Structure 1
Amino acid sequence: MSRSRELLGSLIEFDTTSRESNLQLIEFVRDYLAKLDVPCELIFNAERSKANLFATLGPDNVPGIVLSGHTDVVPVDGQAWTVDPFALTEKDGRLYGRGTADMKGYIACVLAAVPKLLAAPLRMPVHIALSYDEEVGCLGVRSLLAELERRPLKPLLCIIGEPTELKPVLGHKGKLAMRCDVKGAACHSAYAPQGVNAIEYAAQLIGELGRIGARLRAPELHDPRFDPPFSTVQTGVITGGKALNIVPADCRFDFEVRALPAQDPREVTDQLERFAEQEVLPKMHAANGQSSIRFSELSTYPGLATDSQSQAAQLIAQFCGSSEFTTVAFGTEGGLFDAIGIPTVICGPGSMEQGHKPDEFVSAEQLNACDAMLDRIASSLHA
């Protein structure tokens, strides 16, 4: 594990919180691979402040395996850390730091495995794919996937190293995040009926979201592979109003749908928009014709449901030594890879129980196990 630990220490030192640039980390990885004679492609965002990285080890004329991870991490603001989140701290068999579990531990293991992958000719390629802005809606990987989609050969398998305790995961829910802006009409609260109270009408819409969510809990819509076994809806942010004696003219709320792979999350927004158009807006317009309700998408990614009998599932079972497939509650970039014809599984070191929390950690045991999994991949792919 010493090389993986060393590389993890270097990766943790880069503050790649999604609001920051990831270029220092990407350049570190590029330079590391260059010393091993592995060329990289960088795919930048429009501002050239962030980049995806794609590298190929071995032949490029046959389908191979993608080892994929995201480079960004969630903020540490307001969290009570007892160690420096951007310096690796080892204690009692645990490696602490922001991103150790989610998911720089996996990236470190992949980088440490490169010399072993190069030690003998590969009969099929291994691709390394690193992306940005996964934590804020799987944004960066889309330009990388657009590039891969143009290529004639699709990989046989993508392994995304989100923390699953190295258990093979074949499914997760999709997500749709939405914003609703309600515009009413202000007036003195003593004459409240003359205004249009944006908060009160937003509350009606939020109440309808709750009723839609309750209908999604119907037993016939359940999929027992997931926890919870139904699609969920929740409102997470609401803002509005200026003062108690002013009828509020504006209210905004953000909500999300986490949908089972077989269900379309846009059905929820379609239902809510119909309710707004038919039930809420007529009441608002009766008081003020300029009132409005506007919906806008914040982010979305599809669910994942890889067939347990597929070649991808058989390969990951061989590599991680387990065919006990499961699902996870959190989302990944997996559905986006799958959507362009790259079968995908989720399998990485650590647990999401530690992700996004203060004193995030990955155990040394899990890093060792990930190194062993990558050794098996190298052995199976050597000619």
Structure 2
Amino acid sequence: MSVLDDTRQLLRDLISYPTVSADSNLGLIKYLADHLHGCGARVDIWHDETGTKANLFATLGPERDGGIVLSGHSDVVPVTDQDWSSDPFTMTERDGKWYGRGACDMKGFIAAAAAMAPRYARMELQRPVHFAFTYDEEIGCFGARALAAALQKRDLRPAVAIIGEPTMVQIIEGHKGCHEYTTRFTGLEGHGSRPDLGVNAVEYAVRYVAKLLELKAELQARAPADSRFTPPWTTINTGALVGGVAHNVIPGKARVDWEMRPVQPRDADYVSTVLHQLCQDELIPQMRRTHPEADIHTEVIGEIDGLQPMDDNEARDIVMELTGCRHADVVSFGTEAGIFQTLGMSVVVCGPGAIEQAHKPDEFVSIDQMSQCLGMLERLSAKLV
């Protein structure tokens, strides 16, 4: 069988595992572990605290620093309320495309990397190649953060990471960070006719959102002059404001879900400082004049580092050579790449498919894109011997 045929079968199998982030990925991880172990790879599986999720890290070649990591996340977004024309967890092929949940984001790259493993295993590798497949990227990159901690404990230092998110096999050398938060407001319920006797959590949440809007405007003026991002400034988005039970009840609880996508770390620090001062110096003291137990608490859902473009980037240089692409771009969406960069690796994002297909019904990756990706990974062989 050709490597494309092997990839097709691997992707078909991977899609059949409904690894929605809310559910377990253990079946898929075992499948990949068996496949890689069968190729002669040294395979490690690290579970999360619940035991229902796991990262896989496998190595072919010598046990030494300086290796090349091929990385992808195993989880996918839900299909609930999406209008699919076929079973999202059964891969179908039509019009030169492979359809299924995760085909593009990002089981296509995982299948391509796994398909190359037997080819790499038959070579006299001088440089190790690692396979890193993680959990829960879609809800906070929890798996990649746990993987990074595990690699630090092993004192293993790969040099290069290729994150196979869908980029149309174009090279991405930078992206914004992604910080997600839930801020909860605890007030005091009461009858709507006596607002003086209650603490309206929704009204305080509205004042918090008003500050987010002010900061959103301020951040535009803080954009670095040389920013390559679109838009070039740090953005804030208010995703939800939830609270209240009836027209005539003072709401005692409220919640604001919001996110920030920093282009530079000092923007994140500035926003955090301003919001902390707002709550500690103004909102909470006012709430507690009526109800001493009133409070505001912000939960960190995820604070994912951005991928910083670097002048010296071996990963970019390698992938340019492999693909023939002479340009590296930046994007606004986030990936696990920044986590690998914090480990001291040079990192790029480059994989098959278009981000516009991700998370949509009838998600697909084209066979042409998969062929381009496989060509890149086949040519990577010359960097391993």
TM-score past 0.5 threshold:
yes
Change in CA separation of 1:74 and 1:139 when aligned onto 2, cut-off 3 Å: same
- Segments of structure 2 that go 5 or more residues without pairing to the other structure are none
Q: How does 1:3-14 map to 2 (within 5 A)?
A: 3-14=6-17
Which residue of structure 2 lines up, in the alignment, with residue 213 of structure 1?
Answer: 216
CA distance in 1, matches of 2:223, 2:237: 21
Pairing 1:160–2:163 present = yes
In the TM superposition, what whole-angstrom CA distance separates every residue of 1:288-318 from its partner, at most 9, and x where no partner exists? 3332222221111111113143223212211
Decide which of 184, 187, 190 is 2:187's aligned counterpart: 184
2:132 to 123, 126, 129: 129
- CA displacement 1:153-189 (0-9 Å, x = unmatched): 4112000100011111111111111121112222211
Distance 1:287 1:61 in 2: 63
Q: CA deviation at 1:262?
A: 4.5
Residues 223 and 232, structure 2, Cα contact 8 Å, conserved in 1: no
Is 1:245 matched with 2:248? Answer: yes
Does the 8 Å contact 1:209/1:233 carry over to 2? yes
Q: Matched residue pairs, number?
A: 382
- Please give the alpha-carbon distance, in whole angstroms, between the structure 2 residues aligned to 1:292 and 1:153: 44
Give per-residue Cα distances to partners, 1:57-108, cap 9 Å, x unaligned.
1111341100011100011111111111101111111111000010000000
Superposition pairs of residues 86-235 of structure 1, within 5 angstroms: 86-218=89-221, 220-221=223-224, 223-235=226-238
SS at 2:108's partner residue?
helix
Aligned AA (1:320) = T
Partner of 2:80: 77
Which of residues 234, 258, 263 is equivalent to 1:255?
A: 258
Change (3 A) 1:261 1:219: closer
Instruction: Describe the shift of the 1:223–1:16 C-alpha distance in structure 2 as closer, same or farther (beyond 3 A).
Output: farther
CA contact (8 A) 2:70 2:161 kept: yes
> Where in structure 2 are the equivalents of 1:256-335 lying within 5 Å?
256-335=259-338
**Distance apart, 1:264 and its partner CA:** 4.5
1:44-64 superposed Cα distances (whole Å, 9 cap, x missing partner): 112221111111111113411
2: CA distance between counterparts of 1:144 and 1:196?
Answer: 44
**Counterpart-to-counterpart distance in 1, 2:293 and 2:383:** 66
Q: Which moved more, 1:70-79 or 1:111-120?
A: 111-120
Greater shift, 76-85 or 273-282, is seen at: 273-282
CA 1:221–1:215: 2 relative to 1, 3 Å:
farther
Residues 220 and 30 (structure 1), Cα distance of their counterparts in 2 relative to 1, 3 Å cut: closer
| 2: CA distance, partners of 1:255 / 1:214 | 15
Q: SS at the partner of 2:85?
A: coil
DSSP 3-state at the match of 2:190: coil
Structure 1 289/50 Cα, relative in aligned 2: closer, same or farther at 3 Å?
A: closer
- Whole-angstrom distance in 2 between the partners of 1:27 and 1:311: 32
The code of the aligned residue for 2:340 comes to F
Contact 2:173–2:348 (8 Å) recurs in 1: yes
CA contact (8 A) 1:308 1:325 kept: no
Deviations 1:191-210 (A, max 9, x none): 22332211111101100010
- In structure 1, the partner of 2:24 is 21
CA distance in 2, matches of 1:152, 1:184: 48
Distance 1:305 1:39 in 2: 31
Indicate the larger mover: 99-108 or 304-313.
304-313
> What is the SS of the residue equivalent to 2:344?
coil
Counterpart contact for 2:182–2:256, Cα < 8 Å: yes
In 2, the alpha carbon distance for the partners of 1:240 and 1:61 equals 54
Deviates more, 1:99-108 or 1:231-240: 231-240
SS of the aligned residue for 2:72 comes to: strand
Preserved contact between residue 223 and residue 260 of structure 1 (Cα < 8 Å): no
Query: Percent identity between the aligned chains?
Result: 41
TM-score by length of 2: 0.95
Q: Report the Cα distance in structure 2 between the residues aligned to 1:269 and 1:84, rounded to whole angstroms.
A: 44
Q: Which residue of 2 aligns with 1:63?
A: 66
Separation in structure 1 between the aligned mates of residue 295 and residue 151 of structure 2, nearest angstrom = 42
Kept in 2, the 8 Å contact 1:157–1:342? The answer is yes
Distance 1:347 1:56 in 2: 20
Structure 1 runs (4+) deviating above 4 angstroms are: none
The CA deviation at 1:263 is: 3.6
Q: CA RMSD in A?
A: 1.5
1:374, CA displacement in angstroms? 0.4
Cα pair 1:239 1:251 within 8 Å, conserved? yes
